[in-house]
Structure 1
Amino acid sequence: MPQLDVDGATLTYDDEGPRDSGAAPLVFVHGWTANRHRWDHQTAHFSATRRVVRLDLRGHGDSSGAGLRTIDEVAADVLALLDHLHIERCVLVGHSMGGMTAQAIALSHPERVERLVLVNSISRMAYSRGRALLMAASARVPFKLFVAANIQRAFAPGYPREEIRAHVRASAGTPREVVMTLYGAMRAFDVLDRVGEIRVPTLLVHGLHDIQLPVRQMLRMAAAYPDAVVRIVDAGHELPVEKPAQLTAALESFLRTTAPAPA
């Protein structure tokens, strides 16, 4: 596993696929308490024909470190990896918090983004009453129980329980400091009034049964984008693993039919 040291953290990443395909690299950014393996299906599919990069964010998966308190700071880590890999311009794909990170990069460094794909993500954080109560209770319940409750809510009804338990175990390995400080970062994230500045082709893919970040919040974001393609999938919040083939197909179609924005 290649790694990069960045400001007291060690970021683990995968860099796969041909460098000479002529297509901009795909860069995948996972969400809160997840890891780069959320993108296994997409990586296996696209790395056959183009360069694909995915990373474990600081404090997640096989990456070490903590201390990130804003989405812009998460974005800085991703940009550091792009610089390290000499990737000047990419197709940026983010899930949930990763989608917030992708929007932050598209706004601060638009020259680095050829296309943007946001999966189960929004531009302004707004919690349901149930999620707000769960977060308020987090200080009074065992940390692993708190993580388990959040992850279980993320999947649509009927998703296999054993697979949910595997994701719970993986998420529970994320340090409490990382989980809670990045929760605060997501809660403070708000670029809804600026998304009209993002002029690259954009795909918004969302799970119909997402109760973490409901579809109505995504549609509010979609209305603010100047020209976004919207796809709704029969899934919950964890669309990359609930319906990986459908997400890959949506991304494949988007890449084939949408002309890149000028550099």
Structure 2
Amino acid sequence: MPQLEVDGAALTYDDEGPRDGDGVPLVFVHGWTANRHRWDHQMTHFAERRRVIRLDLRGHGESSGAGVRTVAELAGDVIALLDHLKVDRAVLVGHSMGGMIAQTITLDHPDRVERLVLVNSIGRMAYSRGRGLLMAASTLVPYKLFVATNIQRAFAPGHPRDEIRAYGKSSADTPREVVMTLYGAMRAFDVLDRVGEIRVPTLMIHGYHDIQLPVQQMLRMAKDYPDAVVRIIDAGHELPVEKPAALTTALDRFVTPARG
């Protein structure tokens, strides 16, 4: 389990697959309170024929560190990892907050990104009344209850409860300081007026039942992308674990070079 020291954090990452495989590496970036194992299905599938990289963002999963105040600082961690691994150009795949990080990298380092995939992600935060009330109450309820409630809302109706509880427990292991600080970072994130600058082919995959970041918010962003493909899947906000095979298939179609 390799780690990279970056500005006081030890970032845990996986780097798998053939170096001479199909296309540039795929780089997977998870979302808020999650960890790199959200991408297990995709890693297993793609590592058979191309290089795939994923990391635990600082303060998440098996990475240490805290104190990051902006999405741009998290993007800097990803760039530091790519520099360390000597990856000059990649396909970035980001879920939720990870998609915000991926957009930031694409805007700030367009030469490093060949294609962009946004999974349940948006360019500007706009919370529903229910989500706003939940976040406002976050200081008044036990931390684990707060996280569990957020995770419950993230899944589409009917998802197995034992899986939701397992993901809730995993998310609650993320330190409260990290969770609440990055909530503020996401609220401050806003690239909606700049997405027209993103010139790389982009795939936007969104769960139809997402109430955390509703599909209408994604569509508002998609209309301004010069080169975007939109896919809507019957899932909630946690698409990588709700419908992993459907996500993998959509990714494969988008990133795999056509064969003659």
TM-score range, shorter chain: over 0.9
Q: Residue 22 of structure 2 contacts residue 256 of structure 2 at CA under 8 Å; is this kept in 1? A: no
Distance 1:170 1:224 in 2: 36
Tell me which residue corresponds to 1:154: 154
Distance 2:145 2:255 in 1: 40
Distance 1:145 1:77 in 2: 30
TM-score by length of 1: 0.97
Tell me which residue corresponds to 1:84: 84
Tell me which residue corresponds to 2:114: 114
How many residue pairs were aligned? Answer: 258
Distance 1:67 1:61 in 2: 16
In structure 1, the gaps of 5 or more residues are: 259-263
Is residue 2:169 matched to residue 1:169?
yes
C-alpha change, 1:257 and 1:223, in structure 2 (3 Å) is farther
Q: Residue 144 of structure 2 contacts residue 172 of structure 2 at CA under 8 Å; is this kept in 1? A: yes
Distance 1:22 1:149 in 2: 41
Tell me which residue corresponds to 1:198: 198
Offset of residue 16 of structure 1: 0.2
Is residue 2:208 matched to residue 1:212?
no
Q: How does 1:13-162 map to 2 (within 5 A)?
A: 13-162=13-162
Distance 2:62 2:177 in 1: 16
3-state SS in 1 of match to 2:205: strand
**Counterpart residue type for residue 165 of structure 2:** R
Offset of residue 22 of structure 1: 4.8
Offset of residue 23 of structure 1: 1.1
Offset of residue 21 of structure 1: 1.4
Distance 2:164 2:70 in 1: 28
- C-alpha root-mean-square deviation of aligned residues, in Å? 0.8
Distance 2:189 2:33 in 1: 17
3-state SS in 2 of match to 1:193: helix
Map Cα deviations across residues 93-117 of structure 1 (whole Å, 9 max, x no partner): 0000000000000000000000000
Tell me which residue corresponds to 1:5: 5
In structure 2, the gaps of 5 or more residues are: none
Tell me which residue corresponds to 1:261: none
Offset of residue 155 of structure 1: 0.1
Offset of residue 34 of structure 1: 0.1
Q: Identity percentage over the alignment?
A: 78
Map Cα deviations across residues 26-65 of structure 1 (whole Å, 9 max, x no partner): 0000000000000000000000000000000000000000
**Counterpart residue type for residue 119 of structure 1:** V
Distance 2:46 2:21 in 1: 11
Offset of residue 256 of structure 1: 3.4
Distance 1:48 1:39 in 2: 15
3-state SS in 2 of match to 1:226: coil
Tell me which residue corresponds to 1:185: 185
Q: Residue 94 of structure 2 contacts residue 117 of structure 2 at CA under 8 Å; is this kept in 1? A: yes
**Counterpart residue type for residue 117 of structure 2:** V
